[in-house]
Structure 1
Amino acid sequence: MVFRTLHDLDSTAGTVRLVEAGPAHAAHRAGTDIVLVPQPSTDPNDPLRLPQWHKNLSFSILCSYVFLVNFATGGLSPAFYDMSIEFDKSVAEMSGLLTYCVLALGLGNFLWVPCAEYFGKRPVFVVSSAIFFAFLCWSATAKSFETLLTSRVILSIAGGSTEALGAAIVNDLFYLHERGAKMGMYMVGLTLGNSVGPLIGGFVAETIGWRWFLWLSTILSGITFAAVVLFVPETRFKRKYDDGIIPTNGREVESKSPALEIEQTSADGNSLVPARKTYWQQLSLWSGIPEDVSFFAILLQPFPLLFYPAVFWAVLGYAMSLVIVIAINSLYSFVYQAPPYNFNAGISGLINAAGIVGNLFGAFVSGYLLDRFCEWMARRNNGIFVPESRLPLLVIPGVLVPVGTLMFGFAAQKQMNWAVGYVGYGLVAVGLAATANIAMVYVMDSYYPVAAEALLLINGFKNVVAFGFTYGVVPWVESSGYATAFGTLAGVYIFIMFLAIPLYYYGAHIRNHTSSKWKLVTL
């Protein structure tokens, strides 16, 4: 077990040169002044050196996997009203089919991330997608509520591998200047699953029954499993994180190995660079295990990161965004399928059409637009990128989410026109994509060497927090009313967004202190 500071692994603490004037060379994005951060190594098996089509294909498959996990777990919500009659269960009991899945998705991170660090990411994705497929089959054939709930909890634990690890793959395959856009794609998969699932699930449940929605999910999961087996390579790679052109104490230093194509040789003239793996070698489920770190140490490694202000804030921001979305998903069928609306499952599920629009807009803001904004900020800062430049765009979800939360709460309480609640949900959906993506990319930029561990905490604990809130949201609404409950949720979200202001102004000092003074178990 080795205790080191993050500064020992990456002396930049997230502050790097992103834009460099002058002619572009191998260390730059082709034809631009954007510096490649991190610099790819000379190893031909470095994931950063994979062909772009292979990177995009692998990442797209994992985005499809995270989409399907949320599609399958959240897609039954429009049918809860009819299912409560079929199984003779209360509103609170039926909401457990969603809230317990949320908890299981979060807890699954605490299993899969350490396994990925120890055994590799590829075997984790293959095994978890196989379990997910098997228990979806069981879920579709469940004869009792208890069997259905159990199978959904287990498939959610399996699907938890997509949350932190799916995002961590961005660090493995892509550069800093691509990070926001790729994470935006990841959030599109995650958030659209939460919106498209209920949208389709409502109409499927209404026309041919809720079990057929689960069979549809099973078929799609089988296709995804095959794609993971055939096209997702191992991306675990031991990297020197601060290779490249970086600012150090206000001065620029050149990379120790800026010429990317120079082949390293030993004293006897033999090449030290390994041979490129064949396609079939890339499909191996075994890539070795760490020799000097135990699995138990890897299990404990992430938890001290929760005390890092950026990580703690990201947990709160992502969790609160998810809480509001899940609260609405748990309740809207009981609002719109009851008097005075009397919608059927398919029509009530159309609220998710607004959610899809909100998800896509939020992903655009926190993806492509965020990357371009950070490049602009870096140029204004003499080419230097700081992770805090990700935070100003939080003003967009910071305004839209509270407005949408209040709209849904008051529309349900006062039985306003259905469009008020639907539009409110669309505004809330902006926050799930934008807040979560900005929070995770900010943490990835700040603590790159332990990004997977930080994402484990963010994705694990935000689901635990979300479960705590949403588990009690039904009795809370029943006792206090929709307006009070959702007004409180809006207030908590606003408070968390205000906490980003001190991070913006003092984040660099905090990053440098935590990276240079606080020691962690490192691989």
Structure 2
Amino acid sequence: MSSVLNAEQQARLTTERDLHVEMLPGTELLEDVGNLHRIHAHNVANSTVLVPQPSSSPDDPLNWSPKWKTIIMVNQCVFVALSIMPSQCIAPLSPIFEAQWNKNATQVALLTGVMVIALGYTNFVIIPCAHIFGRRPTMIVCCIITLATDIWMAAAGSYWSFMAARLINGFGTGANESMLPLVVADIYAFFIGLMIGPIIAGNIAARVSWRWFFWVCVIAQAINLLGLIVAFPETRFNRDQPPTLAQEASQEASDNEKSPQATAEVENQNVFVTDESLEHGKPSRKQFNIIQGIDRKALSEVWIHLWTPVEIFFYPIVCWAAWTMAGAANAFLLLVLFESPILSNPPYNFSSANIGFANFAPAVGCVIALLVCGPFCDWVALRATKKNHGVFEPEMRLPALIPFLAISLIGLLALGIGGQDKWPWEAIIIVGFGFFGFLTVSLPTVAITYAIDCYKPISGQIMVTSTVVKNTFGFGMTYYINDWIVRDGFIPATGLVIGLAIALPLVGMIGLMIWGKDLRRLTKNSKYHQF
């Protein structure tokens, strides 16, 4: 690793010397400085410097062709969408389960709660396994667990059998929560599955049987498994060995001053370094093996990986990101718990099928957020980076939260007040439900991306911390929200979520824009930057 670190250290020292900028962890140089020249996106001289820098190997996932990256992205999006479908399907099925098993609303809500708690805590195991055994075998095992428990749920003959199946299902589905940032750049595609599940569940239950919804999930998960085996290569890659192109770039920059025969391109005395493998690589046969090599270093540090999510919770940046994700995700859980009590009762009297159809609104909001949020967040950050002489600070992303917070607040008010005062269903579903989908994606996208920018080596552990916080709070919500609604109506519960999903992110955003770099300075020597 020393060669890579030396190159990175050289880049940071050069930047600090020439631009008088403190290069803390998270601060990145996105332009060439001095004699240090690095690889740019698409091998285009005026594009952004790649961080991290790819190796020279065509097997390096950073070098894979756009076709292979698209295949893997689609594969992962399908995996998370189909795997997560059973988790949030309870809302349109609640009246059916209450009647079939003679349970009250709180007991039926716990069918969601037990899966939520398993989804969070199982990642303490999934992430170390992904580091030790590889992403590919870990995902395949999780998919098999999900497939087996989908069969169990479809055939369950009692409330307690069904609950046990959902609990164990969470152990497999948990891969959707924290594995995604290790595999693909966009970690929030799985939220589409949260909206698709209730749509399908409500309609199949209304027209055939609730069991058939889970048999559909079985078929989907079998397709998932086949897709993982065929089209998901191992993405774990060791970049610790030379040659490192960043070092070679620096050397070539120096040589170009002396020799016109150098391999780097020289135009107007500017050196431009290219990577011949960039966007032309592809996975090797070895990367499609079911069993990948064991990472002995990760195995020897397994206890560190288990402890890391607990310790970093007390890092203010990670703690804020975790609670922001918890607020957004549990706002959606509030929607899941609200929709049946609101829509199945007068004056709406929606059937299970129509309650399911109502979830098209958050699905559309989610898709719009997926299309808008990432590019807008990057645009805000890159615009600030250009003004900062090509030096990127993670805090430059945070202003992107402002319009998303405003949209989210409107959606929460429309759901809570509209449900309480019996607004027209169009306002509740289009504005309330639709803006909820936007909230569920946009706020976690900005917050978690910011935290990962600050602590890149532990992106998986950041997601573990966030999902544990999110799902622990969500499990608690399934205990008290329904009784609270019956006693006090929809507005007080909505106020709680506004505090968690809007006020806390807003206050944290303002504080981190002012003191975020100071907080990163306090942890600049943390061992987690060396993972």
The TM-score by the shorter chain falls in which range?
Answer: 0.7 to 0.9
Alpha-carbon distance in 2 for matches of 1:302, 1:357: 33
Q: 2:352 aligned to 345, 360, 383, which one?
A: 345
Q: Deviations over 1:183-220 (max 9, x none)?
A: 1xx42x32211112111221111111111111111101
Over 3 Å counting, the alpha-carbon distance change for 1:42 and 1:17 in structure 2 is: same
Counterpart for residue 30 of structure 2: 18
Q: Deviations over 1:256-300 (max 9, x none)?
A: 79966599xxxxxxxxxxx99742553241222224724233322
Deviation at 1:96, TM superposition (A): 1.2
1:315 aligns with 2:329: no
Q: Larger deviation: 464-473 or 117-126?
A: 464-473
Q: 1:301 aligned to 300, 308, 319, which one?
A: 308
1:79 aligns with 2:93: yes
Alpha-carbon distance in 2 for matches of 1:505, 1:244: 36
Alpha-carbon distance in 1 for matches of 2:24, 2:250: 12
Q: 2:381 aligned to 371, 374, 378, which one?
A: 374
Over 3 Å counting, the alpha-carbon distance change for 1:453 and 1:475 in structure 2 is: same
Q: 2:124 aligned to 90, 93, 110, which one?
A: 110
Q: Larger deviation: 155-164 or 368-377?
A: 368-377
1:325 aligns with 2:325: no
Q: How does 1:473-484 map to 2 (within 5 A)?
A: 473-484=481-492
Q: 1:402 aligned to 398, 401, 409, which one?
A: 409
Counterpart for residue 444 of structure 2: 436
1:359 aligns with 2:372: no
Q: Deviations over 1:367-403 (max 9, x none)?
A: 1222233222211211111111111111122112222
1:502 aligns with 2:514: no
Over 3 Å counting, the alpha-carbon distance change for 1:389 and 1:302 in structure 2 is: same
Code of the residue aligned with 1:234 in structure 2: it is E
Contact 1:70 1:194 in 2 (8 A): yes
Deviation at 1:147, TM superposition (A): 0.9
Over 3 Å counting, the alpha-carbon distance change for 1:257 and 1:343 in structure 2 is: farther
Code of the residue aligned with 1:490 in structure 2: it is I
Deviation at 1:169, TM superposition (A): 1.4
Alpha-carbon distance in 2 for matches of 1:448, 1:377: 20
Alpha-carbon distance in 1 for matches of 2:282, 2:427: 57
Alpha-carbon distance in 2 for matches of 1:256, 1:156: 51
Deviation at 1:164, TM superposition (A): 0.8
Alpha-carbon distance in 2 for matches of 1:256, 1:311: 38
Alpha-carbon distance in 2 for matches of 1:519, 1:469: 35
Which of these two proteins has the greater Rg computed from alpha carbons?
2
Q: CA RMSD in A?
A: 3.0
Alpha-carbon distance in 2 for matches of 1:376, 1:21: 19
Contact 1:304 1:520 in 2 (8 A): no
Q: How does 1:252-271 map to 2 (within 5 A)?
A: none
Code of the residue aligned with 2:523 in structure 1: it is T
Q: Larger deviation: 286-295 or 74-83?
A: 286-295
Q: How does 1:113-128 map to 2 (within 5 A)?
A: 113-128=127-142
Q: 2:435 aligned to 421, 427, 431, which one?
A: 427
Q: Deviations over 1:5-64 (max 9, x none)?
A: 9x9999751111224599x98434333421111110123432212222222212221221
Over 3 Å counting, the alpha-carbon distance change for 1:281 and 1:116 in structure 2 is: closer
Alpha-carbon distance in 1 for matches of 2:123, 2:173: 9
Code of the residue aligned with 1:279 in structure 2: it is R
Deviation at 1:468, TM superposition (A): 2.1
Q: Taking CA–CA contacts closer than 8 Å with sequence separation of 6 or more, which of the two structures ends up with the larger relative contact order?
A: 1
1:457 aligns with 2:465: yes
Q: Deviations over 1:138-189 (max 9, x none)?
A: 111111111111111111211101211112213xxxxxxxxxxx41xx42x3
Code of the residue aligned with 1:391 in structure 2: it is L
Code of the residue aligned with 1:506 in structure 2: it is W
Alpha-carbon distance in 1 for matches of 2:9, 2:97: 55
Code of the residue aligned with 2:308 in structure 1: it is Q
Q: Larger deviation: 363-372 or 8-17?
A: 8-17
Alpha-carbon distance in 2 for matches of 1:312, 1:433: 18
Code of the residue aligned with 2:83 in structure 1: it is V
Counterpart for residue 43 of structure 2: 30
Contact 2:323 2:500 in 1 (8 A): no
Counterpart for residue 218 of structure 1: 218
Q: 1:289 aligned to 280, 295, 303, which one?
A: 295
Code of the residue aligned with 1:84 in structure 2: it is E
Identical residues among aligned pairs (%): 27
Q: Larger deviation: 30-39 or 315-324?
A: 30-39
Secondary structure at the counterpart of residue 473 of structure 2: helix
Contact 1:402 1:428 in 2 (8 A): no
Deviation at 1:99, TM superposition (A): 2.0
Q: Deviations over 1:444-503 (max 9, x none)?
A: 211111212222211232221222234321122222211122123213333212211111
Counterpart for residue 176 of structure 1: none
Over 3 Å counting, the alpha-carbon distance change for 1:121 and 1:521 in structure 2 is: same
Secondary structure at the counterpart of residue 286 of structure 1: coil
Contact 1:202 1:345 in 2 (8 A): yes
Over 3 Å counting, the alpha-carbon distance change for 1:397 and 1:471 in structure 2 is: farther
Q: Larger deviation: 189-198 or 84-93?
A: 189-198
Deviation at 1:80, TM superposition (A): 0.9
Alpha-carbon distance in 1 for matches of 2:357, 2:250: 54
Alpha-carbon distance in 2 for matches of 1:244, 1:504: 34
Secondary structure at the counterpart of residue 105 of structure 1: helix
Code of the residue aligned with 2:313 in structure 1: it is L
1:70 aligns with 2:84: yes
Q: Larger deviation: 115-124 or 455-464?
A: 455-464
Contact 1:19 1:375 in 2 (8 A): no
Over 3 Å counting, the alpha-carbon distance change for 1:21 and 1:366 in structure 2 is: farther
Over 3 Å counting, the alpha-carbon distance change for 1:314 and 1:47 in structure 2 is: same
1:194 aligns with 2:194: yes
